Structure 1
Amino acid sequence: MLSQFTGDKFDNNMLGKIDFDFPEGTHAIGRLDNLSEGLLILTTNKKVTKLLFNSKILHKRTYLVQVDATITDENIENLRSGVEILLRGNKLWTTSPCEVERIEKPDDCYNIVNTLHPRHPHAWLKMTLTEGKYRQIRKMIIAVNNKCKRLIRTSIEDIELGDLPVGKVREYEEEEFFKLLKIDY
């Protein structure tokens, strides 16, 4: 699903197709690319993006990542320490240190299916970052000579995807929303 309500010329699945009466001015915070899935925060408060992603205080985002082949302990350590990725405009960027751990196949609550043949080597990682460059995790995985097959955002700070079904909405009161995101309003 694209992280927008209108403007798609190709009839892709978009937020406007969700069966929910969104208030006028609702917009996505921390967009997901069309190959990613998981938690997406929607709000009408225009200050939230600035407070969450453009402030001096770093905020955590956690992802489940299925990689295409086995991944070594050295690869994981390189990801943790920071790897060099290419940004738009051919600018090299070294990612900030982050949390990375190898995990077992995630719970069924995420409707996880193995997109690879059962005998094809693959691994799952749990990655927590405090920065979010365009397609950063995918580029980080490429930097350690692997390929990202699935990318699922499971949380932003203390707002968690949990068992929320695909295409459904969970509402929060404003005070609780800001508390879970660890931002002052």
Structure 2
Amino acid sequence: MQRYFAIYKPYLVLSQFTSTEGKKTLADYFDLPADVYPVGRLDHDSEGLLLLTNDAQVNQRLLNPKHKHEREYWVQVDGLVTTDAVRQLQNGVVINIDGKPYKTAKAKVEIFPASPDVSERVPPIRFRKSIPTSWLKIVLTEGKNRQVRRMTAHVGFPTLRLIRYRIEQLTLNGMQPGDLIPMNKAVFYALLKL
């Protein structure tokens, strides 16, 4: 039987069910059938929407570079972001991937006018009165390793917190870290435009 889940992966949790390093894994939060696995991944120090399924077609389609699908990230960065930095991110910047320069594809980037309504992170972001932070909404159609962090660092605003909020039309709306939502195939496929 094919199974489909959307989860809110907490901060400092690996996007897998086992660890040889003693780090927390998805198995510490979710009791799922043994044949269910994550589609793609979120870094240990990132949080947010992660898809799990035992439907191999989903993995093939979403991880195929020819199948462009939107991923929306909410990113808290160090400092007050400038319009020039936003423009650079929108047009694509050159980052280092596997030791080689890589020009990122054009992205949709905007500055949140106020902090978005997100759950508190545990442990919390370090707070420094003298250095403000900004929140960005970054929408990508590609997913290189640690791409968002490399992009914001390239324009001078290191990432403090990274939340994947949306994949296509499937969002974290109403979810908290550690939440799991089982879904049926028709809805899952429709929301992901598969």
**How many residue pairs are counted as aligned between the two chains?**
179
TM-score (norm 1): 0.91
Structure 2 residue matching 1:57: 3-state secondary structure: coil
Q: Shift of the alpha carbon at 1:146?
A: 1.9
Alignment-derived partner of residue 80 in structure 1: 90
Unpaired runs of at least 5, structure 2: 1-12
Alignment-derived partner of residue 106 in structure 2: 97
Greater length-normalized contact order (CA 8 Å, ≥ 6 residues apart): 2
Question: In 1, distance between residues paired with 2:176 and 2:156?
Answer: 33
Which ranges of 4 or more aligned residues in structure 1 deviate by more than 6 Å?
Answer: none
- Judged with a 3 Å threshold, the aligned counterparts in structure 2 of structure 1 residues 23 and 126 are, in CA distance, closer, same or farther, namely same
TM-score (norm 2): 0.87
Calculate the aligned-residue CA RMSD, in Å.
Answer: 1.4
Deviations 1:103-140 (A, max 9, x none): 020114x3356532244221110000000000000000
Deviations 1:39-63 (A, max 9, x none): 1111111121221130523100001
Report if the CA contact (8 A) 1:53-1:59 is conserved: no
Unpaired runs of at least 5, structure 1: none
Q: Shift of the alpha carbon at 1:176?
A: 0.7
User: Do structure 1's residue 58 and structure 2's residue 68 form an aligned pair?
Assistant: yes
Alignment-derived partner of residue 160 in structure 1: 171
Letter in 2 for 1:28: P
- Identical aligned residues as a percent: 37
Report if the CA contact (8 A) 1:101-1:125 is conserved: yes
The 5 A counterparts of 1:3-152 are 3-6=15-18, 8-20=19-31, 22-54=32-64, 56-88=66-98, 90-103=99-112, 104-108=114-118, 110-111=119-120, 115-152=126-163
Q: Which has the higher strand share?
A: 2
Question: In 2, distance between residues paired with 1:35 and 1:164?
Answer: 19
- Judged with a 3 Å threshold, the aligned counterparts in structure 2 of structure 1 residues 107 and 28 are, in CA distance, closer, same or farther, namely same
